[in-house]
A and B are shown apart, each in its own frame.
Chain A
Amino acid sequence: MRPTATPGKTTQDERRAAYAEGARRNRSIVWAKFRRNRLASVSAIVVITLVLLAIFAPWVAPRDPLYIDMAQKFAKPGEAGFLLGADELGRDILSRLLHAGQVSLSVGLMTALIAVLVGSILGALAGYYGGAIDAVIMRLVDILLSMPTIFLLLALAAFLKPTLFTITLIIGLNSWMSVARMVRGQILSLKQQEFILAARAMGANDRRLIFRQLLPNAFAPVLVAATLNVATAILLESSLSYLGFGIQPPTASWGNMLNNAQTYVLYAPWVAVYPGIMITLTVLGFNFAGDGLRDALDPRLSAA
Chain B
Amino acid sequence: MLQYILRRLLQAVPMLIGISFAAFVLMRLAPGGPMAIYAQNPNMSEADMRRIERILGLDQPIHIQYLKWAAGMATGNMGYSYRTGRSVGEVIRERVAATVQLMAFAYLIAIALGITTGIVSAIRRHSIFDYCATTGAMIGLSVPTFWFGLMVIIVFAGMLRWIPSGGIATLGAPFSLYDRFIHLIGPAAVLGLWMTATWSRYTRSSVLEVTGQDYIRTARAKGLRSRTILLRHTLRNALIPLVTLAGLEFRNLFGGALVTETVFSWPGIGRLYLDSLNYQDYSVILGLLLMTSVLVLAGSLLADILYAVVDPRIRLR
Contacts and interface: CB of A to CB of B under 8 A. Distances in A.
A242 B289 contact: no
A128 interface: no
Contacts of B297: 146
Interface string B10-42: 000011001100110011011100000000000
Nearest to B255: A150
Contacts of A148: 251, 254-255, 258, 292-293, 296
A145 B277 contact: no
Interface in B131-175: 138-139, 141-148, 150-151, 153-154, 157-158, 165-166
Nearest to B143: A280
A272 interface: yes
Interface string B183-198: 0000000000000000
A267 B87 CA distance: 41
Nearest to B280: A158
Given A143-B15, A146-B293, A243 B147 contact: no
Nearest to B154: A269
Contacts of B26: 155-156, 159
B263 interface: yes
B133 to A, nearest CB: 15
Contact of B139 (A151, A245, A280): A280
Given A159-B29, A265-B153, A280 B144 contact: yes
B121 interface: no
A142 B22 CA distance: 12
B259 A239 contact: yes
Contacts of A149: 251, 255
Given A159-B29, A272-B154, A276-B144, A147 B15 contact: no
Contacts of A255: 144
B151 to A, nearest CB: 7
A242 B144 contact: yes
Given A148-B251, A155-B26, A159-B29, A258 B147 contact: yes
Nearest to B21: A143
A284 B254 contact: no
Contacts of B151: 272-273, 276
Contacts of A152: 289
A151 B147 contact: no
Interface of B is mostly: helix
Contacts of B254: 148, 150-151
B158 A266 contact: yes
A207 interface: no
B199 interface: no
B142 A143 contact: no
Contacts of B29: 159
Main secondary structure of the interface of A (DSSP, over half): helix
Contacts of A276: 143-144, 147-148, 150-151
B190 to A, nearest CB: 13
Interface residues of B, number: 49
A120 B114 CA distance: 33
A159 B31 contact: yes
Contacts of A229: none
A245 B150 CA distance: 19
Given A158-B277, A159-B30, A266-B158, A147 B150 contact: no
Contact of B142 (A150, A154, A283): A283
Contact of B274 (A154, A238, A266): A154
Interface in A253-302: 255, 258, 261-262, 265-266, 269, 272-273, 275-276, 279-280, 283-284, 287-288, 291
A231 interface: yes
Contacts of B265: 262
26 contacts: A139-B15, A139-B18, A142-B18, A146-B15, A146-B251, A147-B296, A148-B251, A149-B251, A151-B255, A152-B289, A155-B27, A156-B26, A239-B259, A245-B277, A258-B146, A258-B147, A261-B150, A262-B150, A262-B166, A262-B263, A265-B158, A273-B154, A275-B147, A276-B143, A276-B151, A283-B143
Given A152-B289, A258-B147, 19 more contacts: A143-B18, A146-B19, A147-B19, A149-B255, A150-B255, A150-B258, A151-B292, A154-B258, A158-B30, A159-B26, A239-B144, A243-B274, A255-B144, A262-B166, A269-B158, A272-B150, A284-B138, A288-B138, A291-B138
Which 8 A-B pairs give the minimum distances between C-beta atoms?
A: A276-B147, A150-B255, A148-B254, A283-B142, A284-B142, A266-B158, A159-B30, A158-B277
